[in-house]
Amino acid sequence: MLIYKIFRPAEWQALQAQGTTSGAPVDLADGFIHFSTAEQMRETAAKHFAGAGDLVLASVDADALGAALRWEVSRGGALFPHLYRALALHEVHATHPLPQGPEGHIFPETL
């Protein structure tokens, strides 16, 4: 199963340069990296990234993250994937641009 992490361009560039990331400031504050499922990612973008400009959507194979990935209750009582360790660049399955549109971010139709 693929799960998704939304990156601001500077965060994505830092992951590419360093090879690992502990996440965005909110991830560092919470002690884990926030991910979303395919069903959750659009609401996550609207709630946490509204007006943030162009973004990068990274997909990661949930099974490959092992025991450090936990499914925990969050927004609306839904289970969200949280990674309790750094994410390595080689664990990113694919990336997609998330351009800012007039009514929110524009997601690829194939997801």
- Report the chain's terminal Cα–Cα distance, integer Å: 12
With a CB cutoff of 8 Å and minimum separation 6, the contacts of 82 are: 32, 33, 34, 35, 69, 70, 71, 72
CB 72 within 8 A of CB 80: yes
Q: Which CATH architecture has domain 2-101?
A: Alpha-Beta Barrel (3.20)
What is the predicted pLDDT for the residue at 111?
A: 77
What is the predicted pLDDT for the residue at 76?
A: 87
Enumerate the domain spans of the chain.
Answer: 2-101
User: Both tokens of residue 58?
Assistant: 């990274």
Q: What is the chain's pLDDT, residue by residue, as a tens digit (111 residues)?
A: 999 999 999 999 999 999 999 999 999 999 999 999 999 999 999 999 999 999 999 999 999 999 999 999 988 899 999 999 999 999 999 999 999 999 999 999 887
